[in-house]
Amino acid sequence: MTRRPLLIRSEHMNNGVILQAFQWYLPSDKSLWTFLSRSARDISAAGFSAVWIPPPTKGQAGINDVGYGAYDLYDLGEFDQKGTISTKYGSKDELVECIKMLQAANVDVYADWVLNHRCGGDKIEDVTAVAANKSDRNIISPESFPAKAWTSFHFSPRAGKYSTFIWNAQHFVATDTLVGVDNPDQVFLINGKTFSGEVSFEQGNFDFLMGCDVDFYNAESKADILHWANWFMKTTGIRGVRLDAVKHYPLSFSLELIKTIQPEALEERPFVVAEYWHPEVSVLTAYIEATEGRASVFDVPLHFNLVSASLGGNTFDLRTIFDGSLVQVSPILAVTFVDNHDTEPGQSLQSWVDLWFKPIAHALILLRKDGYPCVYHADYYGAKNDSYSIEPMKPLIDKLLKARHSLGHGEQHDHFDHPNCIAWVRTGDADHQGKMVVIISNGDAGQKRIMSHLPNTEFVDVVGGTPTSIMTDEAGNAEFTCPAGSLAVWVDKTSARIF
């Protein structure tokens, strides 16, 4: 049995929605923080209760680093490092102002924390290395050899401001890059270190991901990260974090970190959501147990169900869409999503939901009572690059958000009784009297006789574009329809005035 989360903010547990406010291919023009500042009221008015921002720390690629090539965590766009003062997204002052503006608009901000590795070392060090097979890290060479590695990080332009800690080879477990050694099939353990036993065991052991892999058992490196976590929370005033790549560092450190930013003395503790990329729900619930129910987790199994449904067309059984998902077994701690920056075409975790199914997928995460949904920047604002393009879904998603906040209340009655056509009803509550019927088809035009809980009432479709209205009978029943391969959101005509 998973524990209830310690943080209970009403918007999180009720109808809150996260906007992932970035995508992989944003221009390197230092404008994101100012854009979000200007857009704060619009984001709030659309119905988002929180924004997930990209890693705000300086990366090894400087102005072109999305943030996952972590270099100096204490540099939020303040120091001339890696060829730039600002990060890809703007300066430290612009970041802090952005957070203030969003929070003033009643939108929480969750920062992306990349802690597993460091990239772009400042100096080469002599090390002793042992080669491990990158595809199966349990296959380790019995022989060590002298080598040189970029494992010294001294951050000279920062000159010890905020932290005087200097990283060296003793603070890392492994690296994939040694000077003069070119073997992409190997990972190199450093100075007698071993991989952790508290990580994912994909590829034998998934302790190492990239760059210089942080040793979380080293007292010095761990202390500096925990110091940084407290410094970051105080400096930015952030109300939540997204933990990147948690399957690559020890479970015990995850718990210690979360407890550090959720001290018992705080009446309202920061929200934490972990990215544990794994398709099996049992793995995700094990992480939840190990972190004492303090962290939510992205619902990766549901994402893969949505991908399968989009690729399967009418051969996919819609009745099974939530089978094996985190939201099915732990609805309070599941952060549901359709796609994100890692799943888009060309990225390492490419698993893109096909465009025809995206409206249906967003209805499945936004119009149901369980889960804390997250909408991806590229789906909302659109995206275009060499790999693909997607038109903005903002008009549709805005309608779904409006339906969620106005009509997504009360009991939920499911009609998951046909492989190609499913539906559900939201009955409203004492404060929200409107009713909503959602019907979805992945095949031919769908039709179901459904109890709407409103007798002799006219319903209209506010999303699917059905031109005619539907009248319920004296018992509240009617034949509700949806177009082929699409959805319809039927609401009583009185409630429809808000759309």
Buried b (16+ CB within 10 A) or exposed e, 411-448: ebeebeebebbbbbbbbbeeebebbbbbbbbbbeebeb
Each as own residue / partner, the long-range contacts of residues 142-145 (CB below 8 Å, 24 or more positions apart, any chain) are 144/192
Distances, alpha carbon 317 to alpha carbons 305, 418, 420, 448, 484, in Å: 10, 8, 6, 17, 15
**Confidence check: pLDDT of 7 > 90:** no
Distance (Å, rounded) from C-alpha 437 to C-alpha 449? 11
Distance (Å, rounded) from C-alpha 184 to C-alpha 177? 9
SS3 content of the chain, % helix, strand, coil (to 5): 30, 25, 45
Q: 65 by DSSP, 3-state: which? A: coil
Identify whether the C-beta of residue 254 lies closer than 8 Å to the C-beta of residue 218.
no
| pTM as predicted | 0.95
Per-residue pLDDT averaged across 269-296, rounded? 97
Q: Which of 11, 97, 220, 275 is catalytic?
A: 275
Domains of the chain with bracketed CATH? 10-116+219-407 (3.20.20.80), 123-214 (2.40.30.140), 412-498 (2.60.40.1180)
- pLDDT at residue 125, as a whole number: 98
Least confident piece of the model among 383-387, 405-409, 430-434: 383-387
Per-residue pLDDT averaged across 470-498, rounded? 96
Q: 398 by DSSP, 3-state: which? A: helix
What confidence tier does 156 reach under pLDDT thresholds 50, 70, 90?
very high
pLDDT digits (tens, 9 = 90+) for 407-416: 999 999 999 9
Give the H/E segment covering residue 441.
strand 436-441
Distances, alpha carbon 281 to alpha carbons 177, 223, 272, in Å: 34, 32, 19
Distance (Å, rounded) from C-alpha 220 to C-alpha 199? 21
Identify the DSSP state of 5.
Answer: P
Q: Which residues have a Cβ under 8 Å from the Cβ of 453 and sit 6 or more positions away?
A: 425, 427, 428, 435, 476
What confidence tier does 364 reach under pLDDT thresholds 50, 70, 90?
very high
What confidence tier does 348 reach under pLDDT thresholds 50, 70, 90?
confident
Q: Which of 65, 72, 94, 244 is catalytic?
A: 244
332: left (phi over 0), alpha (psi -120 to 50) or beta: alpha
Q: Which residues have a Cβ under 8 Å from the Cβ of 399 and sit 6 or more positions away?
A: 462, 463, 489, 499
What confidence tier does 392 reach under pLDDT thresholds 50, 70, 90?
very high
Identify whether the C-beta of residue 392 lies closer than 8 Å to the C-beta of residue 426.
no
pLDDT digits (tens, 9 = 90+) for 91-125: 999 999 999 999 999 999 999 999 999 999 999 99
- pLDDT at residue 14, as a whole number: 64
What confidence tier does 447 reach under pLDDT thresholds 50, 70, 90?
very high
Residue 127's Cα: distance from chain center in Å?
36
Q: Which candidate, 128, 176, 172, 180, places its Cα nearest to that of 151?
A: 172
- pLDDT at residue 267, as a whole number: 73
Q: Which candidate, 496, 488, 495, 406, places its Cα nearest to that of 448?
A: 488
Identify whether the C-beta of residue 334 lies closer than 8 Å to the C-beta of residue 297.
yes
**Confidence check: pLDDT of 5 > 90:** no
Per-residue pLDDT averaged across 216-241, rounded? 98
CB atoms within 10 A of CB 314: 14
Q: Which candidate, 491, 441, 483, places its Cα nearest to that of 466?
A: 483
Would you call 474 a catalytic residue per the annotation? no
Q: 488 by DSSP, 3-state: which? A: strand
Per-residue pLDDT averaged across 30-48, rounded? 98
What confidence tier does 11 reach under pLDDT thresholds 50, 70, 90?
very low
Would you call 289 a catalytic residue per the annotation? no
Per-residue pLDDT averaged across 252-258, rounded? 98
Distance (Å, rounded) from C-alpha 108 to C-alpha 74? 22
Through-space distance between the first and last CA atoms of the chain, rounded to whole angstroms: 40
